[in-house]
């Protein structure tokens, strides 16, 4: 069994390393548009070989390049005999772009997304068991082969993840709220902080802004690809901000406390979840 990783960055290499550690594949090969990064992954022992093309005998191909290159790879691998799955943070634009070019999705392509991004990047950051106890969302479409979905499910479970299935629309709408909007807010907020203030910022600031150190290239793509759901989420959030602001401006102690309590309760629900 051979696994091919397209994009030997943080997520791709974390999967490679974990899969090797769990003995899921006899061989893992890596491919990257930036050949130095594939070599780096090889030097670090994360892949067994750095290759220039996806080998035909790969049983599985993990697509972990920048999000806006996934659709093109799915099309290029339409006739590949292995299962093809990705890790992109957006799903509908990929599915649309592939359908636009090929009319329908390749049946052995299973859209997937592990919900465990990080502000880290690069093979040197690869983390074993990154996916342990994390959620992976699969968004198979009508064209998707059920057995391919099954194989991808098994692989994610084998590296310790919980698998959830939903539609691409649902995925993109939810991720806009739970992931993309916090990034947008954190980036925007950070731009308003004067450098001289940084030495006076504490632990709350550190956590709130951790994601503002994420890759600008990667996030520019996600914002662009998931624009409509993200703008809808921002609109709803602006309404929540306005509501809290109004209560504060009016010195409406009860209203402010009620809003903060509902937020704190929901956050505690998350910790309990």
Give the CA radius of gyration of the chain. Answer: 20
Query: Can you tell me which of 64, 123, 179, 229 binds its own copies, judged by CB under 8 A?
Result: 179
> Could you say which residues in the range 10-39 bind its own copies, by CB under 8 A?
none
183 belongs to the binding site for its own copies (CB under 8 A): yes
Using CB under 8 A as the binding rule, whether residue 270 contacts its own copies is answered as: yes
d(CA 105, CA 99): 6
If one asks whether residue 187 binds its own copies (CB under 8 A), the answer comes out as: yes
- The structure tokens listed for 99 are 């359908």
Distances (CA, A) of 73 to 32, 98, 197, 238: 12, 9, 44, 37
181 touches its own copies by CB under 8 A: yes
154 binds its own copies, rule: CB under 8 A = no
Pick 1 or 121: Cβ nearer its own copies: 121
The nearest distance, CB 178 to its own copies, in angstroms, is 4
Residue 44 binds its own copies, judged by CB under 8 A: no
Q: Which of residues 199-238 bind its own copies (CB under 8 A)?
A: 199-217, 219-220, 223-224, 227, 230-231, 233-234, 236-238
Min separation Cβ 86 and its own copies, Å: 17
Q: Is 26 or 198 the residue whose CB approaches its own copies more closely?
A: 198
Which residues are CB-contacts of 147 (< 8 A; sequence separation ≥ 6)?
Answer: none
Using alpha carbons only, what angle is made at residue 243 by residues 258 and 252, rounded to the nearest 5 degrees?
Answer: 55
139 forms part of the interface with its own copies (CB under 8 A): no
Q: Does position 261 bind its own copies by CB under 8 A?
A: yes
Q: Under the criterion CB under 8 A, does residue 132 sit at the interface with its own copies?
A: no
Q: Please enumerate in sequence order all residues whose Cβ is within 8 A of that of 75, keeping only pairs 6 or more positions apart, or say none.
A: 98, 101, 102
Give 154 or 188: the residue with its C-beta nearer to its own copies.
188
Smallest gap from Cβ 197 to its own copies, in A, equals: 5
Interface positions, 69-128, toward its own copies (CB under 8 A)? 115-119
Q: What angle do CA 210, 211, 212 make, to 5 degrees?
A: 90
Q: How far is the CB of 47 from its own copies (least distance, A)?
A: 25
Question: What does each C-alpha distance from 175 to 87, 113, 114, 172 come to in angstroms?
Answer: 13, 10, 11, 5
In whole angstroms, the minimum distance from the beta carbon of 40 to its own copies comes to 21
* Residue 272 tokens, joined: 């309990």
Judged on CB neighbours under 10 Å (0-12, 13-18, 19+), 7 is: buried
């Amino acid at each position: 069994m051979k696994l091919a990783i397209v994009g030997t960055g943080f997520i791709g290499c974390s999967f490679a390393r974990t899969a090797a550690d769990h003995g899921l594949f006899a061989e893992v090969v890596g491919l990257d548009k930036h050949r130095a990064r594939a070599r780096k992954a090889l030097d670090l022992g994360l892949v067994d070989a750095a290759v220039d093309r996806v080998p035909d005998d790969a049983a599985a191909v993990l697509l972990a390049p920048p999000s806006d290159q996934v659709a093109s790879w799915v099309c290029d691998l339409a006739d590949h005999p292995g299962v093809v799955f990705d890790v992109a943070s957006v799903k509908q634009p990929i599915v649309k772009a592939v359908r636009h070019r090929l009319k329908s999705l390749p049946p052995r392509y299973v859209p997937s997304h592990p919900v465990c991004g990080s502000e880290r990047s690069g093979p040197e950051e690869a983390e074993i068991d990154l996916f342990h106890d994390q959620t992976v969302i699969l968004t198979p479409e009508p064209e998707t082969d059920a057995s391919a979905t099954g194989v991808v499910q098994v692989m994610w479970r084998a590296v310790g993840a919980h698998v959830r299935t939903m539609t691409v629309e649902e995925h993109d709408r939810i991720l806009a709220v739970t992931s993309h909007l916090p990034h947008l807010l954190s980036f925007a907020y950070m731009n308003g902080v004067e450098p001289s203030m940084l030495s006076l910022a504490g632990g709350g600031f550190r956590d709130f802004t951790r994601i503002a150190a994420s890759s600008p290239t990667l996030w520019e793509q996600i914002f662009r690809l998931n624009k409509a759901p993200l703008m809808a989420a921002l609109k709803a959030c602006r309404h929540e901000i306005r509501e809290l602001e109004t209560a504060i401006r009016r010195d409406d102690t009860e209203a402010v406390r009620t809003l903060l309590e509902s937020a704190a309760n929901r956050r505690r629900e998350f910790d309990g979840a």
